[in-house]
């Protein structure tokens, strides 16, 4: 049931509108948001994630985890594992980790991860949300 109209999904049918609305909501968020399927492949990447890290959705979606692009190789599997761990329990988990910007800079990210369940109740993936105020640049030791 919609909290805005009181209509149930059986009452309203607008082809494509749901996907368009979801895309607009994700891109309009003041928080970076990415989502992963149960195998760790990026399925969603919003504009705020692009703004903070410099990687576009076209560059992020379809990649498994962060290794080789948004995290150091030494950190990538641990970072993904911590996020994917949200599928194992209820509620949200808060994590801090360092990600790499496309320009080579590093960003300390505090993320709230939550598991996503499929229609049958089995783990289907997770989302990671990082409010703008919890992301900060880290000096990389390079000259500006």
Query: What is the model's pLDDT at position 73?
Result: 93
Asked if residue 91 is part of any domain, the answer here is yes
DSSP 8-state code for residue 98: E
Q: What is the CATH number of the domain that holds 72?
A: 3.30.450.20
* Buried-exposed string 12-47: b where 16+ CB fall within 10 A, e elsewhere: eeeeeeeeeeeeeebeeeebbbbbbbeebebebbbe
What is the domain extent for residue 33?
17-138
Asked if residue 4 is part of any domain, the answer here is no
pLDDT at residue 14 tops 50: no
Kindly indicate the confidence band of residue 31, based on its pLDDT and cuts at 50, 70 and 90: confident
| pTM for this predicted structure | 0.76
**What percent of the chain has a predicted confidence (pLDDT) above 90?**
56
Asked if residue 144 is part of any domain, the answer here is no
pLDDT at residue 100 tops 90: yes
Asked if residue 10 is part of any domain, the answer here is no
Asked if residue 12 is part of any domain, the answer here is no
Count of domains forming the chain? 1
Q: Which one is predicted more confidently, 137 or 11? A: 137
Asked if residue 1 is part of any domain, the answer here is no
Asked if residue 2 is part of any domain, the answer here is no
Please provide the DSSP assignment of 110-125 as one string: EEEEEEEE-TTSSEEE
Asked if residue 33 is part of any domain, the answer here is yes
Q: Is 46 helix (H, G, I), strand (E, B) or coil?
A: coil
């Amino acid at each position: 049931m919609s909290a805005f109209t009181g209509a149930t999904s059986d009452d309203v049918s607008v082809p494509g509108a749901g996907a368009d609305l979801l895309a607009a909501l994700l891109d309009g968020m003041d928080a970076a948001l990415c989502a992963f399927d149960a195998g760790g492949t990026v399925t969603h990447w919003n504009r705020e994630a692009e703004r903070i890290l410099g990687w576009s959705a076209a560059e992020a979606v379809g990649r498994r985890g962060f290794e080789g692009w948004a995290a150091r190789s030494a950190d990538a599997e641990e970072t993904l594992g911590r996020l994917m761990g949200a599928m194992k329990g209820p509620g949200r988990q808060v994590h801090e980790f360092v990600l790499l910007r496309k320009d080579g800079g590093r960003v300390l990210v505090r993320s709230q991860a939550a598991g996503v369940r499929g229609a049958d109740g089995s783990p289907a993936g997770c989302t990671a949300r990082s409010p703008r105020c919890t992301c900060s640049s880290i000096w990389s030791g390079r000259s500006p």
